[in-house]
């Protein structure tokens, strides 16, 4: 048996970021840049107005403050809409009506907002001088052509897409999105489509065929469901041969010590190299990691909760490393136990808990229900996995332990802008 931390290290040291590909911007969201990106254009491309108002020369309107009778009047010679350009430079004593985003005419150095004028169309009276030299967004104030926009390693999110689009970047170099083959195994399993056997009480639906692909997609990878292998070794062999082109294979079930647990032997037969089997954790102790024809293999226990916990503890980090991330792990939160927690064996336990914020601001954890590795509904209720160290078998209420969040539940609230 290998320790949880050592298992993670062993797995991750066999994993690299996937090769770089060129991706059109429309397909790049959620991927990680493999190269620095520079701007193909300047943004904004020209000095432009940040207000609806009048483009003026400040020299024309500098007057004594509070002298309303002396308010300057300028001749309105053009209107510049966003999308248009001034017909000519602005001359002395002149103003041009200008809309937000429209280019500033040559000669103007201020935009007086419309509220500070009489809104004149032939001549305009300027009532307020607070906007002298103001309301001009300078060309290149966001970025200039040739400037670095983003370094390698940055994940492309909504603002990045916007910056890249406004910089005229149509394609980026990113680490390829991992393709993960998912194989379930066991004679007792059927697909949801074959519900009749389940209804007759003969079979169970493969829930791992739903949970694992959903977790894989949630981690930013593509899941390829290769279906259910029976407990006949030939069936699993056939499925494992369908993994060509995958970057990772995740199997569930058949890695324990039962008579029909043949995942490891089939894997060995096909020439796979086993790195370890069995981790000092609960749930999910019977777990294998190896390499088959250059494709890493995570063999999870079939128990529905175990498979999900193993993915959270090991699988997510593998996919993040393949995607090109440096931060691979969810950050653990320090939580206070609302009830005593005892564990039955000297193994690192990952218990399904509901974490909430206590009145004093400290995060508090209570068990989400049955801790059986077969009770998936407790997993669905949980928002975190309480990490109980192997040496910490008896933990009274009030003890502080770490918890791994399972989603962003703790970042959400029903109240607007409160802590």
Binding site for ligand AMP (CB under 6 A): 184, 186, 188-189, 204, 206-209, 252-254, 256, 258, 261, 301-304
What burial letters (b/e) apply to 258-271, b meaning 16+ CB within 10 Å?
Answer: eeebbbbebbeeee
Q: Which of 180, 243, 172, 212 is CA-nearest to residue 30?
A: 172
By the rule CB under 5 A, 253 interacts with Mg ion? yes
Minimum Å gap between C-beta 204 and ligand AMP is 6
For ligand AMP, which is the closer residue by CB, 106 or 374?
A: 374
Q: Binding partner of residue 206 among Mg ion, ligand AMP, none, CB under 5 to 8 Å per kind? A: ligand AMP
For ligand AMP, which is the closer residue by CB, 59 or 204?
A: 204
For ligand AMP, which is the closer residue by CB, 202 or 204?
A: 204
Q: Binding partner of residue 28 among Mg ion, ligand AMP, none, CB under 5 to 8 Å per kind? A: none
Residue 176 structure tokens = 């390829």
Name the E strands within 268-393.
273-277, 281-282, 288-292, 295-300, 333-337, 341-342, 348-357, 363-367, 384-388
The stretches of 130-286 forming alpha helices (DSSP H) are 158-166, 195-199, 208-218, 233-240, 263-269
Minimum Å gap between C-beta 196 and ligand AMP is 17
Number of H helices, E strands in the chain: 10, 27
By the rule CB under 5 A, 236 interacts with Mg ion? no
Question: What is the Cα–Cα distance from 308 to 316, expressed in whole angstroms?
Answer: 10
Q: Which residue is nearest to Mg ion (CB)?
A: 186
Which 46-105 positions form the footprint of Mg ion (CB under 5 A)? none
Q: Binding partner of residue 301 among Mg ion, ligand AMP, none, CB under 5 to 8 Å per kind? A: ligand AMP
For ligand AMP, which is the closer residue by CB, 41 or 207?
A: 207
Binding characters for Mg ion, 168-197, by CB under 5 A (x = yes): ------------------x-----------
Element (H, E) at 6: helix 4-13
Residue 50 structure tokens = 């940040």
By the rule CB under 5 A, 255 interacts with Mg ion? no
For ligand AMP, which is the closer residue by CB, 103 or 299?
A: 299
Q: Binding partner of residue 324 among Mg ion, ligand AMP, none, CB under 5 to 8 Å per kind? A: none
Pairing of strands 384-388, 348-357: antiparallel
Q: Which residue is nearest to ligand AMP (CB)?
A: 302
Q: Is 120 exposed, middle or buried (0-12, 13-18, 19+ CB in 10 A)?
A: middle
For ligand AMP, which is the closer residue by CB, 181 or 186?
A: 186
150: left (phi over 0), alpha (psi -120 to 50) or beta: beta
Minimum Å gap between C-beta 332 and ligand AMP is 27
For Mg ion, which is the closer residue by CB, 229 or 341?
A: 229
Residue 192 structure tokens = 């949801």
Residues in contact with Mg ion by the rule CB under 5 A: 186, 253
């Amino acid at each position: 048996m290998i320790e949880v931390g050592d298992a993670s290290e062993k797995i991750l040291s066999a994993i690299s970021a996937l090769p770089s590909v060129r991706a059109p911007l429309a397909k790049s969201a959620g991927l990680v840049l493999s190269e620095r990106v520079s701007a193909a254009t300047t943004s904004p491309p020209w000095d432009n107005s940040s207000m609806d108002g009048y483009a003026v020369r400040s020299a024309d309107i500098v007057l004594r403050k509070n002298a309303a009778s002396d308010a300057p009047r300028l001749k309105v010679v053009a209107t510049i809409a966003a999308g248009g350009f001034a017909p000519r430079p602005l001359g002395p004593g002149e103003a041009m009506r200008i809309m937000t985003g429209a280019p500033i005419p040559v000669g103007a150095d201020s935009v007086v907002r419309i509220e500070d004028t009489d809104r004149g169309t032939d001549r305009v009276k300027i009532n307020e001088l607070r906007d002298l030299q103001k309301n001009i967004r300078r060309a290149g104030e966001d970025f200039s052509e040739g400037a670095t926009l983003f370094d390698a390693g940055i994940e492309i999110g909504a603002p990045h897409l916007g910056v890249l689009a406004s910089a005229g970047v149509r394609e980026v170099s990113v680490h390829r999105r991992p393709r993960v083959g998912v194989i379930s195994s066991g004679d007792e399993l059927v697909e949801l489509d074959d519900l009749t056997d389940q209804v007759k009480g003969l079979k169970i639906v493969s829930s791992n065929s739903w949970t694992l692909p959903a977790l894989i997609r949630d981690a930013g990878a593509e899941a390829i469901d290769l279906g259910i292998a029976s407990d006949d070794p030939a069936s699993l062999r056939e499925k494992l041969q369908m993994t060509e082109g995958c970057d990772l294979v995740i199997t569930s079930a058949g890695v324990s010590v039962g008579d029909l647990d043949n995942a490891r032997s089939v894997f060995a037969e096909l020439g796979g190299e086993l790195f370890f089997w069995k981790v000092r954790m609960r749930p999910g102790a019977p777990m294998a990691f190896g390499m088959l024809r250059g494709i890493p293999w995570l063999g999870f226990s079939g128990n529905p909760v175990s498979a999900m916990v193993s993915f959270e503890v090991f699988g997510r980090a593998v996919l993040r490393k393949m995607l090109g991330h440096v931060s691979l792990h969810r950050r653990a939160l320090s939580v206070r136990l609302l009830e005593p927690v005892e564990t039955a064996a000297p193994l690192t336990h990952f218990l399904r808990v509901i974490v909430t914020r206590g009145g004093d601001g400290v995060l508090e954890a209570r068990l989400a229900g049955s801790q059986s590795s077969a009770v998936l509904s407790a997993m669905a209720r949980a928002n975190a996995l309480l990490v109980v160290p192997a040496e910490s078998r008896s933990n009274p209420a009030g003890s502080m332990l770490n918890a791994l969040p399972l989603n962003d539940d703790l970042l959400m609230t029903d109240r607007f802008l409160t802590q």
